[in-house]
Structure 1
Amino acid sequence: MTNDQKLRVQVTEEIDKHKGIVEKDPHRLHYHLMPPVGLLNDPNGFIQWRGTYHLFYQWMPFKTDHGAKFWGHYTSKDLVNWQHEEVALTPAEWFEKNGCYSGSAIEHEGKLYLFYTGNVKNEHGKRESYQCLATSHDGSHFKKHGPVTTLPDGFTAHFRDPKVWQQGDRYFMVIGAQTETLKGAIVLFQSDDLIDWKWVRMLTGGDSGALADFGYMFECPDLFHLDGKDVLVFSPQGLKPDGMKYHNVYQAGYTVGVFDPTTGMYEHDEFTELDRGFDFYAPQTTVDDQGRRLLFAWMSVPDQDEQMHPTITYKWLHTMTLPRELQINGDKLYQVPVKELEDLRKGDAVVEEVLLANTIKQAERAYGQAFELLIEKMELDEGWFEMTIRHAVRIVYSSEQRVLTLERKSYVDGVIEKRQCELDHLSNLRLFVDTSSIELFINDGAEVFTARFYPSPNDDQMVFGSSSTCRFWVKRWELDKVF
């Protein structure tokens, strides 16, 4: 039996061993992608291929901690109902023995090509990294071809997360990197055949340019064209808090500019965070057959009190965000839940008008643990508006300060913590609440807050409040359980 075969057997045994424990967790989500056991992190290889959406993901099946990662694999026809497939990649070869790290997928000549980083730590503890290729005829079984690039001069072995795309008759690859001066950077390679890759240039970061000295490492780059603009999404590490920005351990965001494929130059504006909440990292996008630019992200952040989540008791950790469609307005990205999520709705919406006048009002009906909520036609001329969900998450908008705040009770020590953004006005809120997560889309997706939270399993209450007269309409849908 090969090392790959042994690892696959061990994964199957681990799932079977802990399935009963995992399913007993009251915080297990109803409609978000989760690992069957162990730890999930970055989305990988997100693609629609032969009419099926494939989402691979970083997976440590043997513990709720990081280590030699596998590529887990989900498939779906509709972005709502997902099937967990056999593990796609195992860390079985010399060039990946300490983990099949993040990467991307592309179709070529009818086959599915996966590009990923092979992580190696040698006998002296020194890191090595290799950008590797695996291919498949059926989307289930993958043949490994080994490394396709070498580490260029001037960079440390923190060199990973290849994202590949085709533009014209050439293929391009961006890779997250760290320079030898310990500055975050993104580099660019190109190829005519997806096999022979040539160095082009450092795309951004390093010691000069608009993102000079912008953290010590850039992860998970993704460069794409959207409505006439070239958008670079990536996850910088090492930023210091700046006002309301950069309060998580690491960040995820984007720049907007112009990419010239003939020279490899990318002129762009400043970095903007994609999500204002507590738990959002390593986003990856793809284009589907409807022409939509779709995004998944990991609903967590590395090194951010990961071992304090209560789900660890039940042998699993972390989840994906919901799939989102990206749209651009000027130089600002909007994120909108994909339309297919409406299929989760059970029956018609419960619709009600809410009038507040310096009061706190508990909703007449219990809202449940998995629901979608739309608040629209908001009238708030002065003062503040608030809503509290299951006594664990609070949303506050101050019309005078023009600030929206998301508060939660910390799962580490119970202390209230917050994330904020400036907001000129509040016209609508769209919330997707699951048993232990919230995704909040503000003003048609102009701002988004994503967070995990852990309320009492028996608490289904929603409370509204305001400091002055406030009127709005509420639509609520109970959502089906998929997982």
Structure 2
Amino acid sequence: MTRDQELRSKAYEAVKENRTIVDQDPYRLKYHLMPPVGLLNDPNGFIEHNGVYHLYYQWMPFKTGHGAKFWGHYSSEDLVNWKHEEIALTPSEWYEKNGCYSGSAIEHDGKIYAFYTGNVKDEEGNRETYQCLAISGDGIEFDKKGPVVELPDGFTPHFRDPKVWEQDGTYFMVVGAQTENLNGSVALLKSEDLENWNNEGIIAGGDDGKLGYFGYMFECPDLFSLDGKDILVFSPQGLEPKGMEYQNVYQAGYVIGQFDGEKGEYDHGSFEELDRGFDFYAPQTTLDHKGRRLLYAWMSVPDQDEQDHPTIDHKWLHCMTIPRELKLVDGKVHQLPLEEQKQLRDGEAVEYSAELQKESRQYEGVEGKALELEIKDVAVSGGWLDISFADGCRVVYNPEQEIFTLERKSYVDGLIEKRQCRLKELKSMRIFLDTSSIEIFLNDGEECFTSRIYPSLNDESITFSASGHGSFNICKWNLKSL
């Protein structure tokens, strides 16, 4: 038995041995992608190929902690119904023995070319890093070609998460990096054949970049065009909280600019967070046949109380967000649930025209654990409006202060914690609730809040309250399980 076969066998055995305890978890999600056992983190290799969407993911099947990651794999023809496929990559070779870390995929000559980081550590914990290539004709079985990029000069071995694309006949790769001066940066490489790569330097961050010192490491970069602008998404580590911003341990966001492929330069503006909630990290995008820029993200944050999630007791941890479409509106990236999400709606909508005057109300049929809630035509005056989801979380809008707040009951100590953003006007909310998660889209994706929540198991109530006057229209659907 080869090392690859041995690792696959052990992983499948772990799935089989723990299936019952995993499935018995009352906090198991209904319509989000989760690991069959163990830990899931970054989305990898997100691509549409021959009419099939492939989403690979960082997977540790043997425990709910991090370690020598595999690439797990989901596939779908409609972005709604997903099949858990065979393992795509195992850390079986010398150049990846401590993990097949995150990466991306591109189509070339009818095949999927997957690029990922091979992680290697010695007995003292010293790190080596290699950007590796694996090729597949069907997206299921991969032929590993090994390292195609070794560590360039000027960087520490924290050099990972390659994202590759083609532009005007040339291939480009951005890599999350740390300079030798311990500054986060995005490195650019260029190739004519996807196998031989030249280092083109730093296009964001670094020792003298426009952002100044902006953390000690940038992870999971992704550069793409959106409505005539070039958007660089990345996840900086090491930012200090600043007012309502940067409240999580690590962040995920973007800058907007113009990329010059010939010069290998990127002129960009300031950093903006993509999501204001507790749990959103390592987003990755792809372009589909409809011309949409689609995004998945990991619904968690590294080193942020991961081992306190109650799902640990049932041998699994973390999930993906729902898929989203990105749009550029007035110089800001908006995120919208995909149109395909409507296929999950189960039965007729429950609708109300609501008006509250210094009161709290529940509406018959507006409750549940897996649902979509649309709140439109919102008007609030003389105080705040809030919606409570059992005892798991609540959202509050204060029009006088122009602040939107998400509060949740901490799964660490039970205390109330919050995340906030400035919001001049609340026009609409679209909320996806799923057993132990909530995703909130404000004003057609102008702002988003994504979080894991753990409400009391026997409480499915939703309560609407206004300290002054509030009026709005409610539309609620139950959602099917995948």
Normalising by structure 1, we get a TM-score of 0.99
- Contact 1:14–1:61 at 8 Å: present in 2 too? yes
Asked if 2 retains the 8 angstrom alpha-carbon contact of 1:393 and 1:407, the reply is yes
What secondary structure sits across from 2:386 in the alignment? strand
Instruction: Give 1:207's aligned residue.
Output: 207
2:439 counterpart residue number: 439
What secondary structure sits across from 1:347 in the alignment? strand
Pair 1:79-2:79 in alignment: yes
Matched, 1:116 2:121: no
After the TM superposition, which of the residue ranges 237-246 and 366-375 deviates more from structure 2? 366-375
Matches of 2:125 and 2:70, distance apart in 1: 21
What residue number does 2:184 align with? 184
State the partner residue of 1:193. 193
Deviating more after overlay: 150-159 vs 413-422: 150-159
Conserved 8 A contact 1:366-1:460: no
Equivalent residues of 1:38, 1:60 under 8 A apart = yes
Q: Which residue of 1 aligns with 2:217?
A: 217
Unaligned runs of 5+ in 1: none
Cα shift readout 1:252-301 (whole Å, capped 9, x = no counterpart): 00000000010011000000000000000000000000000000000000
Could you list the runs of 5+ residues in structure 2 that have no partner in the other structure? none
Q: Over residues 39-59 of structure 1, what are the superposed CA-to-partner deviations in whole Å (9 max), with x where a residue is unaligned?
A: 000000000000000000000
Look up the SS of the partner of 1:22 in the other structure.
Answer: helix
The CA distance in 1 between the partners of 2:468 and 2:277, in whole Å, is: 27
| Aligned equivalent of 1:351 | 351
Q: Aligned equivalents of 1:337 and 1:327: distance in 2?
A: 11
**Distance of 2:382 and 2:40 partners within structure 1:** 43
Match of 2:254 in 1: 254
> How many angstroms apart in 2 are the aligned matches of 1:323 and 1:445?
13
Tell me, what secondary structure is at the counterpart of 1:348?
A: strand
Amino acid at match of 2:276: R
Corresponding residue SS for 1:31? coil
Say whether the 8 Å CA contact 1:104–1:116 is kept in structure 2. Answer: yes
1:79 deviates by 0.5
Deviation of 1:408 after TM superposition, in Å, equals 0.1
Matched, 1:18 2:50: no
Bigger drift between 364-373 and 422-431 goes to 364-373
Counterpart-to-counterpart distance in 2, 1:225 and 1:234: 15
CA-CA distance at 1:8 after TM superposition: 0.6
Partner of 2:429: 429
Q: CA deviation at 1:348?
A: 1.8
Partners of 1:98 and 1:111 in 2: CA distance:
27
Tell me how far apart the structure 2 counterparts of residues 252 and 429 of structure 1 sit (CA, whole Å): 22
Match of 1:406 in 2: 406
- The aligned amino acid for 2:184 is G
Instruction: Provide the residue aligned with 1:140 in structure 2.
Output: 140
Q: Which moved more, 1:385-394 or 1:301-310?
A: 385-394
Asked if the contact 1:363–1:461 (Cα under 8 Å) also holds between the matched residues in 2, the reply is: no
SS of 2:348's equivalent in the other structure is coil
- 2:420 aligns with 420
Residue 209 of structure 1: how far off its partner (Å): 2.3
Q: Summarize the alignment of residues 47-196 of structure 1 with structure 2, pairs less than 5 Å apart.
A: 47-196=47-196
Instruction: Supply the distance in 2 between the matched residues of 1:271 and 1:188 (Cα, whole angstroms).
Output: 19
| Equivalence map 1:246-325=2 (5 Å) | 246-325=246-325
Q: Which residue of 1 aligns with 2:338?
A: 338
Deviates more, 1:64-73 or 1:385-394: 385-394
Describe the superposition over 1:53-78 as per-residue Cα deviations: whole angstroms up to 9, x where unpaired.
00000000000000000000000000
How far, CA to CA, are the matches of 1:409 and 1:363 in structure 2? Answer: 23
Aligned to 2:41: 41
For the residue of structure 2 that corresponds to 1:346, the secondary structure is strand
| Deviations, residues 70-122 of structure 1 (Å, cap 9, x unaligned) | 00000000011000001100000000000000000000001110000000002
Instruction: Check conservation: 2:350, 2:365, Cα contact below 8 A.
Output: no
Moved over 4 A (4+): none
Q: CA separation in 2, counterparts of 1:316 and 1:109?
A: 38
Separation in 2, partners of 1:409, 1:118: 38
Corresponding residue SS for 2:18: helix
Aligned length: 482
Match of 1:462 in 2: 462
Deviation at 1:366, TM superposition (A): 5.1
Deviations 1:129-150 (A, max 9, x none): 0000000112111011110012
CA separation in 2, counterparts of 1:288 and 1:182?
Answer: 36
Q: Distance in 1 between matches of 2:429 and 2:99?
A: 40
Contact 2:346/2:479, CA 8 A, preserved across alignment: yes
Q: 1:473 matched to which residue of 2?
A: 473
Output the aligned Cα RMSD.
0.7
Corresponding residue number in structure 2 for 1:381: 381
Percent of aligned positions that are identical: 62
| Secondary structure, aligned partner of 2:341 | helix
The amino acid across from 2:234 in the alignment is F
State the distance in 2 between where 1:364 and 1:31 align: 24
- Tell whether the 8 Å contact from 1:70 to 1:89 is kept in structure 2 after alignment: yes
Taking the aligned partners of 2:86 and 2:463, their CA distance within structure 1 comes to 43
Instruction: Give the whole-Å Cα distance in 1 for the aligned partners of 2:202 and 2:10.
Output: 41
